[in-house]
Amino acid sequence: NDYEAGLAYAKEVGKPIMIDFTGWGCVNCRKMEENVWVDERVHQRLRDNVVLVSLYVDARPELPEDEQYISEITGRKIKNIGNKWSEFQEVNFQEVSQPLYVILGHDNLEPLVEKNAYNLDVEAYIDWLDRGVAAFEK
């Protein structure tokens, strides 16, 4: 649940990073996990082909005082981990709903393929993952 650590690891192992913007209270996130991620083909790709980083936008642990700030974009006080990841999602990917899935390379926050969201079509999810990995390997 740490983008920076996930990115460092992705660089180390030479894989793209896949961000899973999720929430503890996100019903559709659980549906994706229970209906799509459990498919062995999806599970294998998530395990072997990407570095998966789940960022919980409703996580409540407070940030250290010196890491809290007022968002220049939203004007909200960023005081906990969930606030941090929620703003990160909104600022960088112009989305505020979950689940949101983004496959990235190592150099910037430009998605390698289109963003993905709630869709229980396993074949479409596999296609999206495969295209993201292929774009990274180019």
Two tokens, residue 26: 């996100």
Task: Using pLDDT thresholds of 50, 70 and 90, give the confidence band for residue 74.
Answer: confident
Write down the pLDDT at residue 135: 98
CATH code: domain of residue 113 = 3.40.30.10
Whether 29 maps to a domain, the answer reads: yes
pLDDT digits (tens, 9 = 90+) for 105-126: 999 999 999 999 999 999 999 9
Length of the chain: 138
Whether 131 maps to a domain, the answer reads: yes
Total domains in the chain come to: 1
| CA atoms of 10 and 5, how far apart (whole Å) | 9
Whether 78 maps to a domain, the answer reads: no
Q: What value does the mean pLDDT take over residues 16-36? A: 98
Full-model pTM: 0.93
User: In which domain, by residue range, is 101 found?
Assistant: 3-57+96-137
Residue 102: exposure state from Cβ atoms within 10 A (0-12, 13-18, ≥19): buried
Whether 33 maps to a domain, the answer reads: yes
Whether 66 maps to a domain, the answer reads: no
Write down the pLDDT at residue 128: 99
pLDDT digits (tens, 9 = 90+) for 42-65: 999 999 999 999 999 999 999 999
Whether 30 maps to a domain, the answer reads: yes
pLDDT digits (tens, 9 = 90+) for 75-101: 889 999 999 999 999 999 999 999 999
Task: Answer whether 69's CB lies under 8 Å from 78's CB.
Answer: yes
Write down the pLDDT at residue 63: 95
Question: What is the amino acid identity at position 127?
Answer: D
